[in-house]
Structure 1
C-alpha cells in the first residue's frame, strides 16, 4: 500500500479513537499500520504534511475539546481527562496556547475558537510510491561501465540492454530467474568521478552457479522507496527518474543507504502502454 493511503488510514484511526472510542492513540498500532517503526513514521508524516504527528494529534484534541465546551455540559475536568490530559491545569495551559483563551472563557463568552480540521491526504503525485523492507537479494548477471559524459548514460544503458538481447545473455538470464515475481534488475553501482563512468548491471535473482563472464551482487536487507513507472521502456523509466530528481528527492530528503539504486523490469511486454517497471531508492530508516 502506498504512503498516501497508509497515512489516510492512520488519520482515520486517530479520529476514531479521539471521537468514538475516546481511547489513547496507540503508537504500536500506528507503526503496524505504517509498516515501519513509529519514529520513522513520524519523520515521513512531517515530511509530507509540514507538521509533526504529535502536533497534529494535539491540535485535533484541542479542537474537539473546544467543540465539547461549546456544545455540551461536560465539566472542564472531564473534558481534560477525555483528551488525555493528566490534570485540568495542564489542559488549561494547552488550551490557552492553542485557542488564545482559557476553557472557562471559551464556555462563558461568545468567542471564536481555533480549529485544526481533520487532515485529508490528497494524492497529488504523478507516481505512486511505497516504502518496503526487503530481505537480502542474491543477484547474478552482466556488468559493464557506462559513460555519463553529456548524459550519455541515457542512451548507452538502453544500448546495453539491446546488446544483451542480441547476444543471448538476456535469454540466459530469463532461464536463471528465481525471483517472485520474476523480473530483471538494472543496478547503478560504483561511480568513478575521475572518468565520469558508472558501473551498470543487468541481473536477476538466482541461486544458480555463476556462468562464465557473469558477476554477482549481494544486496543487503534494506528499506526501499519503490516507485511504479507505467508505460513502454525506456520512456517511462526516464520520466520516473526525472520526477525523482526534480520533485521527490527534494520533498522527501531521506538519507540514502549505502546500496545501489535499482531499476526493476517486470516479466512482460516492455512496449505495452501498461507495462510495469519500478525504481528502487535505498533509504536509511531512522527513528
Structure 2
C-alpha cells in the first residue's frame, strides 16, 4: 500500500473519531509512521497542523449538526468530545467566528473545512537529485538542545534559536573532528519511542567526550541523501518541504522512524552558496 493510501486511511479514521476519541498512536500506525513523523509531515503536506485540522473538521460537523437538528448546544458539545460548553463555544468561535447559538440563525456565516484527500499531483517542478546510501552506526559528540520538547508549531523557531545560542561553541565541537565519517558538522534529530527526544549539533568522532557535551550513537540506517544549496534556515526549510511533499509520496520509500541527519559543509551557514545535505532514513515501501 502506498503512503498516499495510508494517509487517506488515516483521514478516514479521523472522520470516524471526531467525537474527541482520535488516538494519535493508532492514527500513526494507520499512516505507517511515528507520531512525530506524522505531526511533522502534515503541515508540509497541508499547510495546517494535525491538531488544528482535527479541530476544524469537528467544528465543521458540529455546525452542520446545529443547523440541521434541534439538539441542545451542550449535547452537541458532548458529541464532539467537549465536557464544557464554554470550551466548545470557544473552539467553535475560533473556527467560525460565531457562537454555537448564532449558528442556528440562517443569516450567520459559517465556514466549512472539507476532509483532506491526498492525491499525487504532477506539478512540473525542477527534478530532485538524491542518492541512496547504507550507513553503519556511528558515534557522535556534541551539545544537545535544552529548550524542551520541540512541537511542530515551534520546531523551526527553536532550531534557529538553538544555533544562535550555540555560537562559538560550534568551534569546540569541530575541534573533536578526527577523520571519522560522516565528516563535517552535523545537526541530528534524535527520537525515542516515536517521539522527539532532542536536536544536537555534533560531529562523528572517536575522541573522548568533553565535559558539558554528550555522546550518542546514530543507529545504522538506509538514507536518502539530498543536497541543499543556499542560506540557512530558508534553504533547509524549502528542501524539507520538497522532500516531504514531492519526493517521498512518489519515491517508493517510506520515512523510517530512525534518526534524521543534516550535514553542513560551509562554515558560514547564512552565505548564499552555503552547502549542506539532508539524510532521510528510509525503507522500501
User: TM-score under structure 1 normalisation?
Assistant: 0.50
User: TM-score under structure 2 normalisation?
Assistant: 0.50
